[in-house]
Amino acid sequence: MEKNCRYVAGAPFPYQYKYEHMAVTTDCIIFTYDERTLKVLLILRGGEPYKGCWAFPGGFLRMDETAREGALRELREETALVPEAIRELGVFSAVDRDPRERVITVAYYALVKPSAVVGGDDAADAAWFPVDHLPELAFDHRQIFAAAMERLRRDIHFEPLGFDLLDERFTIPDLQRLYEIILGTQFDRRNFQRKILASGILEEIPMPEALGEEECERSVPRFMSMDDVPVEKSRVEQAKKRPGRLASLFRFKKEKYAEMKREGDKYEF
Partner DNA sequence: GCAAAAGTGTTAACCCTACACCCATGC
Partner DNA sequence: GCATGGGTGTAGGGTTAACACTTTTGC
| 171 part of the interface to DNA, by CB under 7 A | yes
| 16 part of the interface to its own copies, by CB under 8 A | yes
Q: Which stretch binds DNA (CB under 7 A): 19-27, 114-122, 184-192, 218-226?
A: 184-192
Among 73, 102, 169, 233, binds its own copies (CB under 8 A): 102
| 90 part of the interface to its own copies, by CB under 8 A | yes
Alpha carbons 100 and 146: distance in angstroms, whole number:
24
Please give the residues from 21 up to 50 whose contact with its own copies meets the rule CB under 8 A: 21-24, 48-49
Closer CB to DNA, 222 or 235, in the complex: 235
219 binds, among DNA, its own copies, none (CB under 5 to 8 A by kind): none
Return the C-alpha torsion angle 76, 81, 82, 86, nearest 10: -90
Using CB atoms within 10 A of its CB, is residue 217 exposed (0-12), middle (13-18) or buried (19+)? Answer: exposed
Q: Are 25 and 59 in contact (CB under 8 A)?
A: yes
Closer CB to its own copies, 45 or 169, in the complex: 45
For the chain, state the CA radius of gyration. 22
Alpha carbons 126 and 43: distance in angstroms, whole number:
4
- ∠ CA 186-131-163 to the nearest 5 degrees? 60
Among 29, 61, 116, 196, binds its own copies (CB under 8 A): 61
Phi first, then psi, for residue 151 (nearest 5°) are -65, -45
| 18 part of the interface to its own copies, by CB under 8 A | yes
Among 69, 246, 254, 265, binds DNA (CB under 7 A): 246
CB atoms within 10 A of CB 50: 16
| 44 part of the interface to DNA, by CB under 7 A | no
Phi first, then psi, for residue 209 (nearest 5°) are -65, -40
| 206 part of the interface to its own copies, by CB under 8 A | no
| 234 part of the interface to its own copies, by CB under 8 A | no
**In the complex, minimum distance from the CB of residue 106 to its own copies, in angstroms, rounded to a whole number:** 5
Closer CB to its own copies, 26 or 32, in the complex: 26
Q: Which helix (H) or strand (E) holds 241?
A: helix 235-241
Please give the residues from 223 up to 242 whose contact with DNA meets the rule CB under 7 A: 239-240, 242
**Close Cβ partners of 139 (under 8 Å, ≥ 6 residues apart):** 50, 55, 97, 98, 105
CB atoms within 10 A of CB 86: 20
| 198 part of the interface to DNA, by CB under 7 A | yes
Alpha carbons 38 and 128: distance in angstroms, whole number:
9
**In the complex, minimum distance from the CB of residue 155 to DNA, in angstroms, rounded to a whole number:** 19
| 9 part of the interface to its own copies, by CB under 8 A | no
Interacting residues with its own copies (CB under 8 A): 1, 4-6, 11-24, 48-49, 60-61, 63-68, 88, 90-91, 93-95, 99-102, 104, 106
Interacting residues with DNA (CB under 7 A): 171-173, 188-191, 193-195, 197-198, 239-240, 242-248
